[in-house]
A and B are shown apart, each in its own frame.
Chain A
Amino acid sequence: MTDAVSTATRPGRPAISGVVRRLPEYLMIWVPLLFSAAHLVSFSLWTIWISFTPSTLVPVSGWVGLRNYTAVMASRNWQIAFDNLLLFGSAFVLLSLVTGLVLAILLDQRIRGENVLRSIFLYPLAVSFVVTGTVWSWLLNPGIGIQKLVHDLGWTSFRFDWLVNRDMAIWTIVIAAIWQSSGFAMALFLAGLRSVDADIIKAAQIDGAGPIRIYRRVILPTLWPITITVVVVQLQFAISAFDLVRALTNGGPGIATQLPALVVYDLMFQRGLLGRGAAAAVLMLLILLAVLLPYAAWRYFRRATHA
């Protein structure tokens, strides 16, 4: 819907004098962008290089082949982290989509106090990951948090001990992450709902369609592109949720909630195994590419069919 501009004004090759005259604008456009792109490319290449070296506390040159990769992939930590990423990544992205959509639809019902409610759903975005992790580690800890509160109120058989349960602990991270980030999904979806053409809805109403039918057939299909954006943004969130996990479970109980970002940081800086940490980082980038490439292909395909 936006790519009509791909045919936008494209200046022809300017003459030499034109180049000089337009030097300031070239500098303003290209210098920041090139710096940004250069830092990403060079930092990635640097990490790939380090992953093949025997670096420990500081980067050193040398060549160890794939040894860092085999060591990382053979470690229990990484295997658990990899499984967790699949579970956490998909559960978090899916559930925050649903939460965000439900919140947006509810807010879109012309309810009173919309401003207040919207702020309530958005404010967690303003809080730092460390704070979110710490506060949720209080609330979810069965000994001092919600479970204790309910016990003190008299319902002593109540159990909510996911945080200390190996199999369920990863879901506490999902809960905290959704609490923090679903507001963004909500804002995007709300934006999408608000930009649906009112005439289309009116036409459907005249045709006798009920509200649920209108949502399913008319409104939700238009949210498709937004959904993709939400997925991309939430995916980015899932990857950077490092501080949150560190403060909430720190990978525990045991090593049950390890995630690749934790393993990377731990290997690189806590364990002083820079080469292995870099190998884990490269593996993480590969996972990411496996997710992003289909998205890029989809965009390309969409653009091609629209053109």
Chain B
Amino acid sequence: MRDRTFAPSRILIYLVVSLIAAAYLAPLAVVVLNSLRTNEEIAQASMIGWPKQWAWSNYAAAWSGFCVAETCAGIRPYMLNSALVTIPATIISTMLGAIAGYAVSLWRFRGDSWIYGIVTLGLFLPQQMRLLPWTIVLRDIGLINTLAGLVLIHTIQGLSFTTLFCRNYYVAIPHELIRAARIDGAGFFRIFWRIILPLSSPILIVTVIWQFTHIWNEFLYGVTFTTGQQQPVTAALIALSAAIADIPQHGVQSAAVIIAALPTLLIYLLGGRYFVRGLTAGAVK
């Protein structure tokens, strides 16, 4: 079944695959087309349509033009804010998750399976439920309205995912490798640094992709624990969606959606191959 033939069945496969692919692309196509139509054109016609005239100005307005209250700088400053939270939180939670996963899978400490079990349960604790407790925690440690506070939240919450996936990956590493290194006198960090980390790129790519998209797209914490100029890109996007006393700005909104999604889309486009490879390499057990 894995050999290449040109039987009718293969034509059918291509047909089915292209149809499904078209369905997956349709929403993107609609947004891209709308990003090139004027607000008026969309308001007067339908949400789905071919641009009558190419409204490239939507992108200029989305990037640096539209106003969120008195700040008329478009989406640009908010992209920077999101990057300032997303990049450190992604890196820290991935590194800590890798070390934790390595410890739980290859070193085994007393009580580790309990801790590990609780941490993975964190995947299921709804975000809305954690909002007020985080408020109290951030108040008590003095990090409310700081980007550091957001980084902390996303790091701690992200550990659930990163630890789970790294642990599942490291579990497949033959422990003879570790044992030999230990006999040679290598310690915890030395083994991690010299043996484990070089083997880890597939799974690190998976966790980086996952963490980056989740944190980048987060809204609730992003607006509650920041003030004014520190808000994330999702806040600027929401500001563009129709308010009650506002005409819908679907054109500029679509352009902003595309710009805001570029970093995560690029990560998936560039990393997609490694994503599957990383999962193949053992993250699925």
A33 B268 Cβ-Cβ under 8 A: no
Partner of B269 from A22, A123, A201 at Cβ < 8 Å: A123
Closest A residue, CB atoms, query B14: A111
B175 A22 Cβ-Cβ under 8 A: no
A9 B175 Cβ-Cβ under 8 A: yes
A119 B268 Cβ-Cβ under 8 A: yes
In the bound complex, CA of A117 to CA of B109 (Å): 43
Judge whether A156 is part of the interface by a CB distance below 8 angstroms.
no
Partner of B156 from A39, A188, A195 at Cβ < 8 Å: A39
Interface centre among A32, A126, A239 (most CB of B within 10 A): A126
In the complex, which residues of chain A have a beta carbon less than 8 angstroms from the beta carbon of B52?
A: none
Tell me the minimal C-beta distance from A259 to chain B in angstroms: 11
Tell me the minimal C-beta distance from B92 to chain A in angstroms: 9
Tell me the minimal C-beta distance from B122 to chain A in angstroms: 5
One digit per residue, 1 when the CB lies within 8 angstroms of any chain A CB and 0 when it does not, for chain B 8-23 equals: 0010011011001101
In the bound complex, CA of A10 to CA of B100 (Å): 15
In the complex, which residues of chain B have a beta carbon less than 8 angstroms from the beta carbon of A201?
A: 1-2
A8 B160 Cβ-Cβ under 8 A: no
In the complex, which residues of chain B have a beta carbon less than 8 angstroms from the beta carbon of A281?
A: 126, 128-129
B241 A134 Cβ-Cβ under 8 A: yes
In the bound complex, CA of A119 to CA of B279 (Å): 15
CB contacts under 8 Å to B, within A1-28, are: 1-3, 5, 8-11, 22, 24-25, 28
Surface stretch bound by A, among B53-61, B71-79, B257-265: B257-265
CB contacts under 8 Å to B, within A121-156, are: 121-132, 134-136, 138-139, 141, 144-146, 148-149, 152
B273 A118 Cβ-Cβ under 8 A: yes
Query: How many positions in chain A have a CB within 8 Å of any CB in the partner chain?
Result: 101
Judge whether A103 is part of the interface by a CB distance below 8 angstroms.
yes
Could you tell me the dominant secondary structure of chain A's interface residues?
A: helix
Tell me the minimal C-beta distance from B29 to chain A in angstroms: 10
In the bound complex, CA of A8 to CA of B103 (Å): 11
CB contacts under 8 Å to B, within A214-267, are: 214-215, 225-226, 229, 232, 235-236, 239-240, 242-243, 261, 264-265
CB contacts under 8 Å to B, within A263-300, are: 264-265, 268-269, 274, 278, 281, 284-285, 288, 292, 296
Closest A residue, CB atoms, query B3: A110
With contacts A110-B3, A201-B2, A239-B124 known, what are 15 further pairs, Cβ within 8 A? A9-B107, A9-B179, A11-B107, A33-B100, A36-B156, A36-B160, A37-B115, A42-B133, A109-B2, A111-B14, A121-B20, A123-B24, A149-B46, A149-B48, A269-B128
- 30 residue pairs bridging A and B, Cβ less than 8 Å apart: A8-B175, A9-B107, A24-B189, A25-B188, A28-B99, A29-B107, A29-B109, A33-B104, A33-B119, A36-B122, A36-B160, A42-B133, A43-B129, A46-B133, A103-B20, A108-B2, A127-B217, A135-B27, A141-B47, A146-B48, A179-B27, A194-B276, A195-B280, A229-B285, A235-B124, A236-B123, A242-B127, A242-B128, A261-B128, A284-B126
Q: Across chains A and B, which 4 residue pairs bring their CB atoms closest together, nearest first?
A: A128-B217, A211-B1, A126-B264, A191-B280
